[in-house]
Structure 1
Amino acid sequence: MDAMWNTEQPRDGFGPDPFNPYPFARPVTYVGGRSKKQLRAEIQSTCPKLPGVYGMWDRKGQLIYVGKSKALRSRLLSYFSAANAEEKAGRIIAAARVIQWETQPSEFAALLREQHLIRTLTPRWNVQEIPKRQRPVYLCLGRPPAPYFFLARVPPKDSVACEGPFHGAGRMSRAVDALNKHFRLRDCSSQQTMHFSEQLSLFQLEHRPGCLRLEINTCLGPCAAGCSRGEYDRQVAAAKSFLEGLNAEILVQLQDSMQTAAERRQFELAAHARDSLQVLEYLHRKLLYLAEVRRTYSFVYSVPGYDGSGIWYLIRNGEIADRLVAPQCTKTFADARPELRRWAAELEGSDTATTGQASNGLYPHTLSLVARWFRKNKDEHQQTFLPSQAGHKYRSAKANPRRYTVVG
């Protein structure tokens, strides 16, 4: 079996887990076989019906797929179903020679681990084999000295604002085009030199714009001294407010443009405005929802583990910000107090609770995961509390322990 492994891939595990607060790694098991029949038999006899993540390696030792499940054995056995032979699952298992799984204390922990592994290991069937139009993208505002809207697969660290992920690359590309035109932001190459109006000397020659957008009034023209830095920054601020769900002016303007064009029988212009409006209405709804999550999701989330390894997650502005071992006794609760005080200060220092403005932390990609989790599992809100309420939560949990239900 050793020959099937690429030494660049983790042999005995998937690597570090930033969301595991325990001093030990989660249990990992791997099985191998030269045929689907052998692999299935190994899984049937050794894989538990517990939450966790799994990875599949091909004959060359390349990691080709990562997944998660709240019942690992049931999920892995489903790949061998005759009904899936021609589907994606069937094609993945046909190429697999080694399968590795790592149990997680809960389904929520498995979700976080899966997302982290896909982002860091980029398995082929999770990334390359997905059509570009279906890959998630982030809508970003940034790239100095003249920021503008653009799409990115990974949230950049130096952007003015960033939100997502969104699905539908084609739809999002149309949204970016409409947003840059409405806010009159550039969309030119990073190689294009910017010349703001205050940078011109008395005898300096005029700079020619790099495209026609300045002439047709869809760009302020920072490349040709068409605006001052202050004028451009004001447009960036307005664009940022749209990204934060605070500014819907563009929707009103597009609606008016569509109606005016239709009244003048300019049907092509009306259709273009309609298409842009549909894309941006979808985007605005999503931005409003994410802004609400950022504004209201700042708390501690208590998640029990099937093996007693519960975790308290700090969720700040809708994102996972930190985690600690769920206190099990008086001593462990006392040990957790300094961290809980730090968490309380961190939440009090968050301006999102009052302004609704986005503030990305270390794991901005967890925002949508957290939002989907609580939307799907509404009862889980009962397991959230503020750091100042941790003592009451600990005593309540000790008196009435919440057990993790193992599927199957």
Structure 2
Amino acid sequence: MSDPAPRLHAKPPQTTPAHRKQLRALVREGVENRPGVYRMLGPTGTVIYVGQSRVLRTRLLSYFRAKGRRNKAARILRHAFHIEWEYTNTEFGALLRELRLIKQYRPHFNTMMVMDEWPRAYVALTGGSVPGLRVVARSDEPSAVALFGPFRRVARLRDAVRALAEATALRDCTLEDTVRGTGAGRGSALWFAADPTTKPRGSARSRAPGCLRHDLGTCAGPCIGAGHPLPYRKAADDVRLFLDGLSDAPVRLLETAMQQAADALAFEKAGVLRDRLELVRWLHERVQHFHANVDRLTFRYHAFGHAEAEWVYLIRRGTVRAEVRAPRTDEERAAFDALVTRVYEGADPGGADVPTHDLDEFYLVASWFRRRPEERKRAKSPRST
């Protein structure tokens, strides 16, 4: 008899009770009760979970008291073959380090638990030769040049992004989906990149299979070689300004179009435009709120950590740019002042926006001070003494 076929979806390997007992002894003997982060590793050394605590030893030992197959801590520990840890200067530093490690390793259990907490999505303006609007699930979406969120009302966000795309004639598809199986789409993408001033070769009549939004008049159809690149890129620039909180052009565009439809007694069309306008206004309000919060999160944060040592976090536009021990000597003060100057007066590497890769960090910082108003009192202006 032949051997049975291998299982395609085998369960991840689990540790034995004896091995977990060894891990518990390792924690009891080696970990101190101070702020820090820990990493749970699988059998091959892959990081499967990252966590943090202001009392690291107590937190790790709580895993070994967890019971039940559905308990989160017990479930993680069953798959942990090794535990690593490191100390941080403060509890805030532990949260920051945890976030950065999660973004570096993307551990399985962290990802699954975030997805289980609540659905969320981001609105992204993609780059490349044919920019477009998309709703994405990840804060580190590689195709995005502008990214905002997260939004909990995912269905509402999708409707709003579609309304914004229809108002500005930008595509909201993926280029690959649009041009799959056609030569015209790939040619138009190359044309957009090569010569933005020339009329596209070919015509909409020769395309296959076509673009429904272009046929309905709500997309310029760049992926199928329709339209002209200069107006399209102007529309993409307007949407970028809209997402940056610097323009309400799509709102005004819809208001004008709705009024014109009403004046022409095209009430059905006016009703469609009214619904789009409501969605775009909703998105605009949230973008404005986001940027207002970003502008408020620029300061020095003085925090006390292990052994009452004072640490200073230099925060600019919601992201931590430096973490240093509070100066105690004239020499340390001079070095500290020079660092403050570089961080707050130098060119912001993120430009006018929060850098895409720092979006999660912005929300961590905002959440920390929102949930701990007493810590906000420790914040000082960048140049205060």
TM range (shorter): 0.7 to 0.9
Map 1:79-98 to 2 at 5 A: 79-82=63-66, 85-98=69-82
Corresponding residue to 1:379 among 363, 366, 374: 374
- Count of matched residue pairs: 341
Alignment CA distance shift 1:157-1:247 (3 Å): same
Structure 2, unaligned runs of 5 or more: 1-15, 177-184
Q: Deviations over 1:160-180 (max 9, x none)?
A: 422234457666555543432
Corresponding residue to 2:129 among 125, 138, 145: 145
CA distance in structure 1 between the partners assigned to 2:73 and 2:323 by the alignment:
33
Residue 104 of structure 1 is matched in structure 2 by: 88
Residue 40 of structure 2 is matched in structure 1 by: 56
Map 1:8-87 to 2 at 5 A: 34-82=18-66, 85-87=69-71
Residue 364 of structure 2 is matched in structure 1 by: 369
CA distance in structure 2 between the partners assigned to 1:388 and 1:303 by the alignment:
17
Map 1:247-326 to 2 at 5 A: 281=282, 284=284, 286-307=286-307, 310-326=310-326
Alignment CA distance shift 1:223-1:56 (3 Å): closer
Alignment CA distance shift 1:170-1:234 (3 Å): same
Residue 243 of structure 2 is matched in structure 1 by: 243
Identity of aligned residues (%): 30
* TM superposition score normalised by structure 2: 0.72
- Tell me by how many angstroms 1:327 deviates: 1.0
| Secondary structure of the structure 2 residue equivalent to 1:380 | helix
- Tell me by how many angstroms 1:129 deviates: 6.5
Residue 203 of structure 2 is matched in structure 1 by: 206
* 2:109 is the counterpart of 1:125: yes
| Secondary structure of the structure 2 residue equivalent to 1:177 | helix
Residues 79, 89 of structure 1: 8 Å contact kept: yes
Alignment CA distance shift 1:97-1:361 (3 Å): closer
Alignment CA distance shift 1:132-1:206 (3 Å): farther
CA distance in structure 2 between the partners assigned to 1:321 and 1:313 by the alignment:
8
- Tell me by how many angstroms 1:154 deviates: 4.5
CA distance in structure 1 between the partners assigned to 2:372 and 2:114 by the alignment:
28
Residues 311, 325 of structure 2: 8 Å contact kept: yes
Q: Deviations over 1:226-255 (max 9, x none)?
A: 44333223322332233234556767969x
| Secondary structure of the structure 1 residue equivalent to 2:125 | strand
- Tell me by how many angstroms 1:110 deviates: 0.6
Alignment CA distance shift 1:188-1:342 (3 Å): same
Structure 1, unaligned runs of 5 or more: 1-31, 393-408
Alignment CA distance shift 1:358-1:58 (3 Å): closer
Q: Deviations over 1:306-361 (max 9, x none)?
A: 145543222222222333332122221123232222234227x7998xxxx52528
Aligned alpha-carbon RMSD (Å): 4.0
Residues 33, 39 of structure 1: 8 Å contact kept: no
Alignment CA distance shift 1:157-1:58 (3 Å): closer
Residues 55, 63 of structure 1: 8 Å contact kept: yes
* TM superposition score normalised by structure 1: 0.69
* 2:147 is the counterpart of 1:162: yes
- Tell me by how many angstroms 1:128 deviates: 5.3
Residue 170 of structure 2 is matched in structure 1 by: 185
Greater share of residues in helix: 2
